[in-house]
Chain A
Amino acid sequence: MKVAITSTGNSPDSTLDSRFGRCSYFVIYDNESHSTEFIPNPNKDSIEGAGPAAVQLIASRGAEKVVSGEFGAKVKSLFDTLKIQLVVLNDPEKKISEIIMLLNHKT
C-alpha cells in the first residue's frame, strides 16, 4: 500500500510539512517494496486550488493514505469520495524517516 507524506525537503531527514496543498515535497512511500519517491509540489506557490491539484497528484500515484499536518476544507470531501484515509499529525518536528518507521510497525 502506498502512503503519501507531505515534506519540507527532498531527503528523509527533512520534517513533515504542516500544510497539505502548499507543501514543498510529497513523499510517496510504498510499504511493500519499501521504496520512497520525492515529488516536488508543482502548486507550491499557486494562489488558489493548490489542495485539489495536490489531491489529484496523490490519487494518480495510487496512495491510499495521506499524512500531513492539516487539511483544508476543499480537500476533505475529495479524499472522502476517493476513499483515501487522512492522517493528521500535529508534530512539525517529526522527520520523514521517523514517520516511515512508525508506518512499518504495523506490518
Chain B
Amino acid sequence: MLIIMPRPKRIRKMTNPPHFKGFRPIALPEENDPIVLNYEEYESIRLSDFELHGHLEASKIMEVSRPTYSRIYESARRKVAEAFVLGKSILFEGGKVFFDTEWYSCKSCGCYFNHPAKEQRMDNCPLCGSSDIVQYSENTQLRPTEGSCVCPKCGLKKVHSPGIPCRNEICPDCNSPMIMEGAPHQHRNLNCN
C-alpha cells in the first residue's frame, strides 16, 4: 500500500492580526453558515491589497515561498468573493501562523521601537509623537545605501553605489577588492599592509 504524506506546512509569519472577528452582511434575516478566512489569508489580502506589496515581496514578509503565497492569496480572494456573492458572513479563524512583533524606526528622533499591542495600528513614534516612522527591517541595516567603499591597501575612497557590494568594486590604483568604510575588518586590513 502506498501511503502519501504531504510535506508539513511552513509556518507563516503574521505581523498585524485583525482586531475584530469578522464581517456580517447587512439586512439579511437568516444566519447562514459563515466562511472561515484563515489568518494567513487575511494577512495576504492585507499585504497585497492594502499595503500593495508584490507577491514576491509579500511572500518574504510572511516567510513562505512565492508560489505558496500566491496560493494563499488566491484562496483568500475566492473566499471573499464567495461571501460577497452569496451573502455569507466571514470569520477570521485558524491558519498555521505565528505572531511576531514588528520593529519601527522614527526618522525624526532616530529611535527604534517595537509594537506589542498588535491590534492597533502604529502611526506615531512613542517618544516624540512624530508620524514619520518606517518599518525597520534587517536588510536595510546590513546593506548601506550611502557611505563609501575604501581600498584596504592604499586607503582610496569611492562613493558606494547602492546594490553593488563593496567587495565587487576594484580599486583603480592597486586592483584589490574594496571593502565597506567603517566595517569591523577595515582597521585590521590597514594594519597588516
Q: Do A and B come from one complex?
A: yes
When distances are taken between beta carbons in the complex, the residues of chain A under 8 Å from B111 are: 67, 87-91
**Distance from B178 Cβ to chain A, minimum over Cβ atoms (Å):** 27
Q: What mask results when residues 68 to 83 of chain A are scored 1 for a CB within 8 Å of chain B, else 0?
A: 0000000000011001
B127 touches A102 (CB 8 A): yes
**Distance from A104 Cβ to chain B, minimum over Cβ atoms (Å):** 9
| Contact-residue bracket for chain A | 10 to 19
B110 CB within 8 Å of chain A = yes
**Distance from A75 Cβ to chain B, minimum over Cβ atoms (Å):** 12
When distances are taken between beta carbons in the complex, the residues of chain A under 8 Å from B126 are: 65, 85, 87, 106
Mostly, the B contact residues are loop
B115 CB within 8 Å of chain A = yes
A85 touches B116 (CB 8 A): yes
When distances are taken between beta carbons in the complex, the residues of chain B under 8 Å from A83 are: 116-117
**Distance from A17 Cβ to chain B, minimum over Cβ atoms (Å):** 15
Residue from A88, A99, A103, A106 within 8 A of B112 (CB atoms): A88
Q: Which of A65, A86, A90 has the most CB of B within 10 A?
A: A86
**Looking across the interface, which residue of chain B has its beta carbon closest to that of A105?**
B129
Q: Please, how many angstroms separate the alpha-carbon atoms of A99 and B110 in the complex?
A: 12
A105 touches B128 (CB 8 A): yes
Residue from A67, A85, A90, A99 within 8 A of B114 (CB atoms): A85
Q: Please, how many angstroms separate the alpha-carbon atoms of A88 and B113 in the complex?
A: 6
B127 touches A79 (CB 8 A): no
Residue from A84, A90, A103 within 8 A of B127 (CB atoms): A103
A102 touches B109 (CB 8 A): yes
Q: Please, how many angstroms separate the alpha-carbon atoms of A86 and B111 in the complex?
A: 10
Q: Please, how many angstroms separate the alpha-carbon atoms of A84 and B65 in the complex?
A: 33
B101 CB within 8 Å of chain A = yes
Q: Which residues of B contact A (CB under 8 A)?
A: 101, 109-117, 124, 126-130
